[in-house]
Amino acid sequence: EDKVVQSPLSLVVHEGDTVTLNCSYEVTNFRSLLWYKQEKKAPTFLFMLTSSGIEKKSGRLSSILDKKELFSILNITATQTGDSAVYLCAVVKTSYDKVIFGPGTSLSVIP
Amino acid sequence: GAVVSQHPSWVICKSGTSVKIECRSLDFQATTMFWYRQFPKQSLMLMATSNEGSKATYEQGVEKDKFLINHASLTLSTLTVTSAHPEDSSFYICSARGSHNEKLFFGSGTQLSVL
């Protein structure tokens, strides 16, 4: 059975801290891995990763994929209160017909 | 990024009534649309996948006669919750993607409350 696991499930940090969110997967016919940020309503797209070892970067956020060990990490440096959200990891299968989400990591950044 | 519009944003209805939720892709053709349900502090649970012009594929445990999905055009999919009951109260969210495109674009979600 396809599975996407995220850890930790929740995290509380102080502004300025650096956090690492983890996503591991057991999925047949893997094609790509997606990271989303969900605040109140619709998740917003962060990164799409298809190749191992290539870091994607956007401002203070970065992510990398390891297809051999079947995991990805999302790093956030110098966290701000606006980073407080649920971060969702999802895996797309090669058939395009299914996207499997992990349970999410709830991040709270306190001043 | 692409825009997906979902309507209504919230709805309150009486038990036994049916509720229709619309999901539209505004600036691209969505060959596939997904419907998710999300309970508070939980992740997105896939309910069904719909491809334009064909019947939706429902996940295990999701009643297809209760959650009717129609994807009649490349820009519109609808989810109808038939004979809604209080246990159907939840946040429903759609997502869409174009042909051979991994990125999902999400609607803003619909909060359904059944009294």
Min Cα distance B24 → chain A (Å) is: 14
For A103, name the nearest residue in chain B, comparing CA atoms only.
Answer: B43
Instruction: Please determine, for residue B71, whether its predicted confidence score (pLDDT) is greater than 70.
Output: yes
Q: Tell me if B19 sits within 8 A of B80, measured CB to CB.
A: yes
pLDDT at residue number B27: 84
pLDDT at residue number B109: 92
What's the mean per-residue pLDDT of chain B? 89
Instruction: Tell me which residue has tokens 């990591």.
Output: A105
Residue A81 per-residue DSSP state:
G
pLDDT digits (tens, 9 = 90+) for B2-45: 789 999 999 999 999 999 999 999 888 888 899 999 888 778 88
pLDDT digits (tens, 9 = 90+) for A52-104: 999 999 999 999 999 999 999 999 999 999 999 999 999 988 765 678 889 99
Closest residue to B49, CB basis, from A50, A86, A98: A98
Q: What is the mean pLDDT of residues B71-87?
A: 92
pLDDT digits (tens, 9 = 90+) for A3-39: 999 999 999 999 999 999 999 999 988 989 999 999 8
Instruction: Please determine, for residue B89, whether its predicted confidence score (pLDDT) is greater than 90.
Output: yes
Measured from the Cβ of residue B100, the count of other Cβ atoms closer than 10 Å reads 8
Instruction: Please determine, for residue B65, whether its predicted confidence score (pLDDT) is greater than 70.
Output: yes
- Determine, for residues A42 and B34 on separate chains, whether the beta-carbon distance falls below 8 Å: no
pLDDT at residue number B53: 79
Q: What is the mean pLDDT of residues B48-54?
A: 85
Select the residue from B102, B110, B111 to test the A interface by mutation, using most A Cβ atoms within 10 A: B102
pLDDT band at B101 (very low <50, low <70, confident <90, very high): low
- Using the Cβ of B3 and the Cβ atoms of chain A, whether some distance falls under 8 Å is answered with no
- Determine, for residues B32 and A96 on separate chains, whether the beta-carbon distance falls below 8 Å: yes
- Determine, for residues A42 and B109 on separate chains, whether the beta-carbon distance falls below 8 Å: yes
Q: Percent of chain B, pLDDT > 90?
A: 57
pLDDT at residue number A9: 94
B81 bridge partner residues:
B19, B67
∠ CA B18-B21-B27, rounded to 5° = 160
Please report how many Cα atoms fall inside a 13 Å half-sphere around the Cα of residue A28, on the Cβ side.
4
pLDDT at residue number A96: 59
- Using the Cβ of B61 and the Cβ atoms of chain A, whether some distance falls under 8 Å is answered with no
Touching A: B residues 15-34, CB under 8 Å: 32, 34
